[in-house]
Structure formats: C-alpha cells, structure tokens
A and B are shown apart, each in its own frame.
Chain A
Amino acid sequence: MINALTRNIMADIISGEVEVDTYTPADIPDIQLWLDSADASTITQSAGAVSQWDDKSGEGHNATQPTGSLQPTTGTRTINGLNVIDFSNDSLVIGVNATQGNTIIALVSFDNLSNANFLFDGNDQYDRQILFNVNGAYAMFADDTISNGSIPQATTQIWMGEFNGSSSQLIINGTTQLTGNPGSDNLAGLRIGARYNGVNPLDGVMGDFIIVDKIMTTTEKNQLGNFLANKWGITWSDIT
C-alpha cells in the first residue's frame, strides 16, 4: 500500500525536486585524470588491444599507446562483473602533470609479483612518482624508495597514494600501509603499467585510475573510497 508520504516522495522525484546522489570522481575538486575501465565508450581498441583510454575528468588527459606489442587488453576479464584492463608487458602514456602534494588512486589486482612491478611511473627519468611492488612489499618513490607490508596476489585493492614530501602515505582500502618521505619529485607525464622506460611492467588488471592535484580531505577520500569499493565489490574502511 502506498501511503501519503511515499506518494509525495514519488511526486517529488517525478517532478525533479529530489536530488538523487550522482557522485562520481569527476566531482572531486582539482581532479586531473579519471580512467574508468567499466565504461566501454571511453576505450578505443582493435580486437581487444587498447590504443586509447579516454579521460573522464574533463581535462582531456587521454591515455594512449600507438605500439601494438605494448597495448593492454580489454574485454577479456572482469571484477564484480565490470570490465578491467589487463596489463602484461604493456603500458599507456598520458600527458598529465601534478605537483606535490597530490593524490594518485588505482583499482588494481596483481596476477604475479616479481622483484618490481610498476602500477605507474613518470614518463621520463627526471620527473617520477611511482606506486609499485618491490619484492612483494608496497612501495612509493618520488626520488627515493619507501616500502612496507606485503601485497597479496589476485586480490582487488584500492591504492591511494598521497605524494606530499615527508607526510606522504599509501592507503590501501582505507588503511594506511606506508608512511614516510619518498622524495619531492613532481609528475610531468605519466606511464601506466610500467617503469618510465617500459620495463618492470605490471602483471595484473586495473579498473579506475585517478589523479587529484591536491591532498584530498578525509571526507573526499572516504567518499571516493566508498564509491570505488561499492563499484568493484570490495570493502573500504573509513578513514577517521
């Protein structure tokens, strides 16, 4: 039975007077990049080989790869029923800049861990910010390496790296795994899926990839973390 309150709410929705929560990462102030593997309309491919992955931030920082042997794969794997991009000796390049402090977020699952596997790096040897595996541990680099913990294989995780000099940290699914000073490099160009020169590749899959050119507030981190966790079917522990 529909009561009067329900009728009024339905009427408000129909008339447009109720604002439905439509948060997306594009709403984050100072966002520079948002790649979304679940949105097929952003992916240009040839029989699954990705040559371009379009930015949804509104900043036009599309990820590209014109070399066939380096193109990651789309349309073959899913997480929580959503398409992910499969990286194996592949990488995509983006002309995006970000100065410290900044925040770089990736939805990732490693298939295999070797001595070093890069989620991303700068695109030259002078301007580098990196989140990566080093010998199975979580690691950050911005001219110096800090590392800690143990990365599980075949496990979907939200990596949220805050590059902020001596106050840097790496948050995994809402929990801080790594703190310290990884150096003061800024980003001037980005390579996703490998080291700046294409080696030490990621062997795994990636969903969303986001760059925010500031240190996000706790509220913003939790809002984004919960959005990604809900989307990909994992748990985010709210930061307090």
Chain B
Amino acid sequence: MKILEFTTEAEAQTCLSVINAMASAWWVSKGYTVIDNNGTKELVGKRNGVDNTTATRTLSWDTVKESPDGTFYITSLTGTRDEWADWKQNLADSGFTAIGTEKDYPDDWVDESI
C-alpha cells in the first residue's frame, strides 16, 4: 500500500479534500449519483445496477492519520484503480501539486501486537 505523507495535519487534510473533489467528479462522469449533503459529497452506491439511496454512502476517499513518526498520512490512489493511474497528473493539470511524499507504508509502522 502506498501512502502520501505530510508534515502537518492541515496539509494532509487539504490534499484529501482535493482528492475527494476530483473523485466526486470522476464518479459523476461514470454515471454514479453524488449528493451534496451540507458540503460533503456523498457517493450513492448501486445494488443490482440501481442506486441504493438507503444504504451507507461513500463519504471520503480516506481519513487523515498520524504516523508513529509524528507525520500525517493518507492512502495514495496509486495502485488502486487502473482508471486512476494518471491521478497525479490530473491534479497537477488542475494546479494542485501539494500531494506530500508518496512512499510505501513503512514496515516499522506496522503494529506487531494483537
């Protein structure tokens, strides 16, 4: 799993918000319903090909988490969907480049306890 690492929580949250906005536009372009609920773009999933408006909606790509090193990170889009392979270029084309440092999830961040 690849992550995007940031120095501050605010930087990570800003990047996540930009990714969420980009993702919402992508889902709409693919025929999915996205509902604006007081500023939160909520993706409506489908059941048997039909919008399931009563089911849990997708509210965000990820949540910002603090690392054992004191940095902040979110899951990268890299390696998730083939259709999202150009996500970094798409963000750059829109003028956003503050995507932090992309790296593999460090082994020494893994919690070995049960």
Residues of A within 8 A of B (CB): 40-41, 43-47, 49, 51-52, 62, 64-71, 89, 115-116, 130, 132, 134, 141, 145, 195, 197, 199-200
Contacts and interface: CB of A to CB of B under 8 A. Distances in A.
B87 interface: no
B46 A200 contact: no
Interface residues of B, number: 28
Nearest to A199: B111
Given A46-B46, A69-B80, A116-B114, A51 B57 contact: yes
Contact of A67 (B52, B60, B114): B60
A159 to B, nearest CB: 17
Interface of B: 1, 23, 27, 30, 32, 43, 45-48, 52, 55-63, 74-75, 80-81, 110-112, 114
Identify whether the interface residues of B are mostly helix, strand, loop, or mixed.
loop
A130 B114 contact: yes
A64 B111 CA distance: 24
B47 A68 contact: no
Given A45-B46, A52-B45, A68 B110 contact: no
B45 A45 contact: yes
B56 to A, nearest CB: 4
A67 B62 contact: yes
B23 A68 contact: yes
Most chain B CB inside 10 Å of its own CB: which residue of A47, A116, A199: A47
Given A64-B56, A116-B114, 4 more contacts: A41-B48, A44-B52, A46-B27, A47-B32
A64 B23 CA distance: 20
B45 A46 contact: yes
Contacts of A195: 111, 114
29 contacts: A40-B47, A44-B46, A44-B55, A44-B56, A45-B45, A46-B27, A46-B45, A46-B58, A47-B30, A47-B32, A51-B43, A51-B45, A51-B58, A52-B45, A52-B55, A64-B55, A66-B58, A68-B23, A68-B43, A68-B60, A69-B61, A69-B62, A69-B80, A89-B1, A116-B112, A130-B114, A141-B114, A145-B114, A200-B110
